[in-house]
Amino acid sequence: MEMMEKSTGLPELFGSMVFGEKIMKERLSKATFKAWKTCVTSGSELPLAAANEIAEAMKQWAIGKGATHYTHWFQPMTGSTAEKHDSFIEPVGDGTVVMEFSGKELVKGEPDASSFPSGGLRATFEARGYTAWDPTSFAFVKDGTLYIPTVFCAYSGQALDKKTPLLKSMDAVSRESIRILRLFGDTETKRVTAQCGPEQEYFLIDKGLYQKREDLKLTGRTLFGNKPPRGQELEDHYFGQLKPRVAAFMKDLDAELWKVGVLSKTKHNEVAPSQHEMAPIYSDANQAADQNQLTMEMMKVVADRHGFHCLLHEKPFAGVNGSGKHDNWSLGTDTGKNLFNPGSTPDQNAQFLLFLAAFIKGVDDYQEALRVTVASAGNDHRLGAQEAPPAIISIFLGDELDRVVQSIIGGQEFHGEGRKTLKIGIDMLPPIPQDNTDRNRTSPMAFTGNKFEFRMLGSSQSISGPNIALNTMMAEELSQFADRLEAAADFNAELEKLLKEVFTEHQRIVFNGNGYDASWIEEAEKRGLANLTTTADALPSYISEKNIALYTKHGIYTEEELVARYNIHVETYNAQIAIEAHTMDDIIRRQILPAVSAYAAELCRRMGDLTAAKVPVVYETKTCEKLAILTDALLDATEKLEEHLIAVPAQAEEAMRYYHEVIIADMAAARSAADQLESITDEKYWPFPVYSDLLFSE
Quick note: the x/- pattern for ligand ADP over 290-329, rule CB under 6 A, is --------------------------------------xx
Is the Cβ of residue 326 or residue 403 nearer to Mg ion in the bound state? 326
Is the Cβ of residue 227 or residue 441 nearer to ligand ADP in the bound state? 441
User: Binder to ligand ADP among 306, 325, 451, 455 (CB under 6 A)?
Assistant: 451
Beta pairing class for 145-154 and 445-447 = unpaired
Helical (H) or strand (E) element with 288 = helix 285-305
Is the Cβ of residue 268 or residue 626 nearer to ligand ADP in the bound state? 268
Contact flag: residue 362 with ligand ADP (CB under 6 A)? no
| Residues whose CB falls within 8 Å of the CB of residue 649, separated by 6 or more in sequence, listed in order | 655, 658
State the binding partner of 338 from Mg ion, ligand ADP, none, CB within 5 to 8 A by kind: ligand ADP
The region of 153-161, 206-214, 319-327, 618-626 touching Mg ion under the rule CB under 5 A is 319-327
The region of 19-27, 321-329, 424-432, 570-578 touching Mg ion under the rule CB under 5 A is 321-329
State the binding partner of 276 from ligand ADP, Mg ion, none, CB within 5 to 8 A by kind: none
Q: What is the 3-state secondary structure (H, E, C) of 372-416?
A: HCCCCCCHHHCCCCCCCCCCECCEECCHHHHHHHHHHHCCCCCCC
Complete DSSP assignment for 202-247: EEEEEHHHHHT-HHHHHHSS-SS-PPPSS-STT--STTPPPPHHHH
The H helix count followed by the E strand count for the chain is 25, 16
Residues in the chain: 698
For the beta carbon of residue 382, count every other beta carbon within 10 angstroms.
23
Spatial distance between the Cα atoms of 612 and 606, rounded to a whole number of angstroms: 10
The region of 164-172, 194-202, 304-312, 543-551 touching ligand ADP under the rule CB under 6 A is 194-202
| Residues whose CB falls within 8 Å of the CB of residue 251, separated by 6 or more in sequence, listed in order | none
| Residues whose CB falls within 8 Å of the CB of residue 471, separated by 6 or more in sequence, listed in order | 166, 169, 170, 172, 173, 194, 285
CB of 495 to Mg ion, least distance (A): 32
State the binding partner of 195 from ligand ADP, Mg ion, none, CB within 5 to 8 A by kind: ligand ADP
User: Binder to ligand ADP among 151, 279, 395, 570 (CB under 6 A)?
Assistant: 279
Spatial distance between the Cα atoms of 563 and 637, rounded to a whole number of angstroms: 36
CB of 265 to ligand ADP, least distance (A): 7
Is the Cβ of residue 61 or residue 516 nearer to Mg ion in the bound state? 516
> Which DSSP symbol is given to 331?
E
Contact flag: residue 275 with ligand ADP (CB under 6 A)? no
Contact flag: residue 334 with ligand ADP (CB under 6 A)? no
Contact flag: residue 326 with Mg ion (CB under 5 A)? yes
Is the Cβ of residue 197 or residue 444 nearer to ligand ADP in the bound state? 197
Contact flag: residue 330 with ligand ADP (CB under 6 A)? yes
> How far is C-alpha 471 from the chain's CA centre?
16
- Name the closest residue to ligand ADP (Cβ): 197
CB of 509 to Mg ion, least distance (A): 21
| Residues whose CB falls within 8 Å of the CB of residue 444, separated by 6 or more in sequence, listed in order | 389, 390, 392, 393, 394, 454, 455, 456, 515
Let me know: does 560 contact 153? Beta carbons within 8 Å: no
Contact flag: residue 342 with ligand ADP (CB under 6 A)? no
State the binding partner of 330 from Mg ion, ligand ADP, none, CB within 5 to 8 A by kind: ligand ADP
Is the Cβ of residue 116 or residue 329 nearer to ligand ADP in the bound state? 329
CB of 144 to ligand ADP, least distance (A): 30
The dihedral built from the CA positions of residue 275, 276, 282 and 285, taken in this order, carries a sign that is: negative
Contact flag: residue 450 with ligand ADP (CB under 6 A)? yes
Which of 463, 504, 255 lies closest to 361, judged by CA?
A: 504
Contact flag: residue 282 with ligand ADP (CB under 6 A)? yes
Spatial distance between the Cα atoms of 394 and 529, rounded to a whole number of angstroms: 8
Quick note: the x/- pattern for ligand ADP over 198-237, rule CB under 6 A, is -x--------------------------------------
Contact flag: residue 390 with ligand ADP (CB under 6 A)? no
Contact flag: residue 479 with ligand ADP (CB under 6 A)? no
Name the residues that contact ligand ADP, by CB under 6 A.
195-197, 199, 279-282, 328-330, 338, 448, 450-451
Name the residues that contact Mg ion, by CB under 5 A.
326
